Amino acid sequence: MLVTLKDKTFEIYLKESEIKDRLKTIGQQISIDFKGQDLLVLGVLNGSFIVMADLCREIKGVSVQTTFLKISSYSGTESTGIVKEVIGLPKDLQDKNILIVEDIVDTGVSMNYLLHRLENEKPKSISIATLLYKPEAFRFNYQLHYVGFEIPNKFVVGYGLDYDGLGRELPEIYQLK
């Protein structure tokens, strides 16, 4: 199945059922890792909102709080390499277990920025969950604790990911054709 957004055509890459199954598995692991603890799930807007909602529903036996921040490093289909903080971090993160949820980690520039910002707040722990990870594009050495799928370094949309604001609502993930 093909989808056209503006001037680009995308083909199906990951089916909705594959995504949901993988998020269930990740949720089960998070439930084990944080059993009986408090967890602040920090979604990185805009892309993470669907992933975060579905993942949170799969976490059991953990006291979950949610919040969001918004940072940006993309223009069109390319990373600019410059991170802008649009909506900042919530207050009082000291001594909290923080789970950052991302839709995708590719170059890692945005996450690297966020990790440095969070470390200054002195949380108890910081973990990263991402639906998609592009190892070919990744430029850092920090750990991604929960990874849904490793994918090639191609542009993708759907399931929260967009192309110039379009395609976030697609229930599957599509790759640029």
CA–CA separation, 68 vs 175, rounded Å?
26
Closest CA to 111 of 91, 95, 127, 125: 127
Residue type, 70: K
Task: Please tell me the distance from the alpha carbon of residue 160 to that of residue 42, in angstroms, as a whole number.
Answer: 15
| Positions marked active-site | 106
Q: Provide the β-strand partners of residue 4.
A: 9
Report helix, strand or coil for 20.
helix
Count of residues for the chain? Answer: 177
Number of H helices, E strands in the chain: 3, 10
**Strands 156-157 and 38-45, bridge-based pairing:** unpaired
> Over the Cα atoms of the chain, what is R_g?
16
Instruction: Quickly count: other Cβ atoms within 10 Å of residue 1's Cβ.
Output: 7
